[in-house]
Structure 1
Amino acid sequence: MKARIGTEPDGGAADSGSPARVDSNLIYSRIFDAIVDHKLGPGTHLKEDELCDLFGVGRTRVRSALSRLAADHVIELVANRGAFVARPSVEEAREVFRARRVIEGHLIRRAAERRDPPMQHALTEHLHGEHAAREAGDTAQVIRRCSRYHQLLADQADSPIMAGFIRELIARSSLIVAIYEKSKPDDCEVEEHNLLSEYVLNGRADEAAALMDRHLQGIEDRLDLNRKGEPESDLRHSLGFA
């Protein structure tokens, strides 16, 4: 059994100088990443007592992290019931993808206009990881890499406010996919990432924006908006404590 993050292996409290000391940022990041990676499913109850135990912290830090996640619209705080991973509605699903097509189309144009060697290195390295995950049959890693490719592209546009919007929309998209996806990503998605990168790195902004629009529409087309969500997830396992 793994020790709690905020405690020593024997169960004692970590001292203030310990590298294992947990703050609300770490709790926020672990939960946010678990949602994006499809480890925490829609509707999962994020029980305060259990989170306090897993992270070895008090309620103040847990509540701070949950408040930030609620502000990002990836969890819902329900009076007298607690925190739950959000369950986007059909209309929210459509609206999220409409927003992504507009914003990511703009950002990929900006990225193509400011292409440089560091951008080429970042995109190439990421795509190598995508292909390796696909070859290894590591579905969880493929999902993670595909989602983070879009954030990586957004970050190249040197527009931190809009990139922040995309971060939230990607997380909400992950919940939407977890509920409504009728077919898994195929090799075409990775190949489109290759082509998007090629267009960006060669300054072909119009072609990059047009392909991004089709690419996101393709993801939306894989959704069955009449489908019910998966059962809620186990917190300990989903957050990497089991």
Structure 2
Amino acid sequence: MNKTFAETAAGIGPKSIAGGTEIDRIYAHIFDAIVGHRLQPGTHLKEDELCEIYGIGRTRMRTVLSRLAADHVVELVANRGAFVARPTVEEAREVFRARRLLEGDLIRRAAERRDPAMRVALEEHMVCEREARDAGDVSRVIRRCGRYHQVLADQAESPIMARFVRELIARSSLIIAVYETKAPDSCEIDEHRELSDLVLSGKADEAVTLMDRHLRGIEDRLVLDNREAPQSELISSLGTFER
């Protein structure tokens, strides 16, 4: 069975489905390039170039693009082709509004059911997030910051809501690529650490309050106007794909 977006996002892109089919791996490779901001919103995903990069035919490539469209990171436009999705200002505001509602509820649930396994999951993620920051890898930092929210959502034992959050995080990545004026700073990691401490201490109300402030802080970094984002060159953005 093919991997869904939820399964791919949970493992941060290609690595999570290295043992999957070639279609799975191509899907994950493109998905990772999009959420990691290597492929900018609005970029035309030309079938002929993609087929050449990945060494597959148009029919199979269309399967990949259809899966990416189902995950709302690619738009399929009749008679024009596939494009990396470019969220509107209205969609951007709606996405963050939905995230505050869902993630506020999920972090409360997580704080109420804290256990040793949760501590391990959160601590392991914080190590990875700090390593990405110390390495100066901006793309990896962006993915890890989003991944923190996925890890936290998964602790609430509410898989349906957690899956909705994963989709919203992917959309947030596109929104940030278009509208953000500056990259995440160390305060964001500090808040991740504080959120983890509150959850693991069972301080649900404080965790909900901080999550709301944290997400509003991310939204505040955005300049929500109708600017145009530059398109990306496919071959240089996607890099080498090992078949």
Partner of 1:151: 150
Query: Deviation string for 1:128-187 (max 9, x for gaps)?
Result: 122222223222221121111111111111111111111111111111111111122111
Distance 2:106 2:204 in 1: 10
Q: Percent identity?
A: 68
What is the Cα deviation at residue 60 of structure 1? 2.4
Q: Establish whether residue 44 from structure 1 lines up as the match of residue 43 from structure 2.
A: yes
Contact 1:180 1:229 (C-alpha < 8 Å) held by counterparts: no
- Compare 152-161 and 217-226 and name the one that shifted more: 152-161
What is the Cα deviation at residue 21 of structure 1? 8.5
Contact 1:48 1:59 (C-alpha < 8 Å) held by counterparts: yes
Distance 2:147 2:70 in 1: 21
Counterparts of 1:3-82 in structure 2, within 5 Å, are: 22-82=21-81
Shift of the 21–149 alpha-carbon distance from structure 1 to 2, 3 Å rule, reads closer
TM-score in terms of structure 1 length: 0.87
Question: Structure 2: where are the runs of 5+ without partners?
Answer: 1-17
Max Rg structure:
1
Partner of 1:4: none
Counterparts of 1:214-225 in structure 2, within 5 Å, are: 214-225=213-224
Partner of 1:109: 108
Contact 1:42 1:229 (C-alpha < 8 Å) held by counterparts: no
Contact 2:89 2:226 (C-alpha < 8 Å) held by counterparts: no
More helix by share: 2
TM-score in terms of structure 2 length: 0.86
Contact 2:106 2:153 (C-alpha < 8 Å) held by counterparts: yes
Partner of 2:5: none
Shift of the 227–81 alpha-carbon distance from structure 1 to 2, 3 Å rule, reads closer
Contact 1:22 1:55 (C-alpha < 8 Å) held by counterparts: no
Distance 2:142 2:20 in 1: 30
What is the Cα deviation at residue 37 of structure 1? 1.1
Shift of the 21–147 alpha-carbon distance from structure 1 to 2, 3 Å rule, reads closer
Partner of 1:125: 124
Query: Deviation string for 1:185-220 (max 9, x for gaps)?
Result: 111100000001111111111111111111000000
Question: Structure 1: where are the runs of 5+ without partners?
Answer: 1-18
Query: Deviation string for 1:34-53 (max 9, x for gaps)?
Result: 11111111011111122222
Contact 1:34 1:238 (C-alpha < 8 Å) held by counterparts: yes
Query: Deviation string for 1:36-90 (max 9, x for gaps)?
Result: 1111110111111222222222222211121121122111101111000011110
